[in-house]
Amino acid sequence: MQGCPLKCRWCSNPESWQAHPIIMTRNMKCIRCGKCVQACPIGAITMDEKEGRRIDWAQCNQCLECAHVCPAEAIVVCGKYMSLGEVMAEVESDRLFYQNSGGGVTVSGGEPLSQPEFVQELLKRCKERELHTALDTSGYAPWSKLEKILEYVDLVLFDVKHLDPHQHREGTGQSNELILDNLEKTAAKVRTWLRVPLIPGYNDSVEHVTKLAELGRRVGAEKISLLPYHEWGKAKYEQIGRHYSMDQTPAPTPEHLQELQEIIQGLELKATISS
């Protein structure tokens, strides 16, 4: 789902922050034909003889006209509007895979709770078709909306970025009081796994991970998945006209990851390290 109220500094999918389709550039494909310049209704795109196409991202209104006329796909549309019927057709096309793997449908984002009515109806239809359902969420939404969605969810993958509200706001743009409150309520109703993006120097200390494990055990989470920091989404920031603020951040070492995993397991919680 497109749209997210959090703006995590390390996010690998910044193109999903907006609740509508946006343009994404692929500069290596640009053939300098100038069609995007002609199509832009507000003059946000110019063509330089030496540097090629330039986009004034502060001026761009995301009308998408440039992407529609680009013959080389050097500007593309990221995201699209779909009806419930169209999404369910995609879901049903993988039914054999669900049956063979023992899996099901996971609704993720962005933040799926940013589109609560759509997600609720989507998951309801999945349950009507006897499909296993999972919700991957930050938990940042009114409980009244989350509670209704949980009626049709078998498993919640609940992201926890930081336990300190000030540090959480520094890293994501929002505080965490609502998130932690929703976590307790969610884990009391539905099977819950905690997912922790492990960011060096931010939330990867032994002390913080120990507190996370204690929280997971207290609320009854089945396991904690550690998601080590990586730069796989770094290039996307330039492609959508944003600044990446995590340069020079190292990935956690295997030794440190093992140490944190053992801390969680020492508190009698299953711990996995995922990509």
Q: How many domains does the chain have?
A: 1
**pLDDT (0 to 100) of residue 132:** 96
Q: What is the mean pLDDT of the chain?
A: 97
| 47 within some domain | no
Question: In CATH, what number is assigned to the domain containing residue 96?
Answer: 3.20.20.70
| 2 within some domain | no
| 191 within some domain | yes
- Contact between 250 and 28 under an 8 Å Cβ cutoff? The reply is no
- Looking at the predicted structure, is the pLDDT value of residue 275 above 80? no
Averaged over 129-154, what is the pLDDT? 98
Q: Give 182-205 pLDDT, tens digit per residue.
A: 999 999 999 999 999 999 999 999
Q: Give 234-247 pLDDT, tens digit per residue.
A: 999 999 999 999 98
| 5 within some domain | no
Q: Give 88-109 pLDDT, tens digit per residue.
A: 999 999 999 999 999 999 999 9
Q: Give 33-85 pLDDT, tens digit per residue.
A: 999 999 999 999 999 988 899 999 999 999 999 999 999 999 999 999 999 99
| 36 within some domain | no
Residue 165 neighbours by CB under 8 Å, 6+ apart = 175, 176, 177
Whole-angstrom distance, CA of residue 31 vs CA of residue 22 = 21
- What DSSP letter does each residue of 102-116 carry, written as one string? T--EEE-SS-GGGSH
Whole-angstrom distance, CA of residue 250 vs CA of residue 261 = 19
**CA dist 170 → 173, 175, 238, 254 (Å):** 6, 8, 22, 26
- Complete edge-to-edge strand list for the sheet that includes strand 270-273: 105-107, 133-137, 155-159, 191-198, 223-228, 270-273
| 100 within some domain | yes
Residue 209, domain extent: 84-273
| 73 within some domain | no
- Phi and psi based region of residue 7 (left: phi greater than 0; alpha: psi -120 to 50; beta: remaining): beta
| 6 within some domain | no
**pLDDT (0 to 100) of residue 50:** 86
What distance lies between CA 116 and its chain's CA centroid? 16
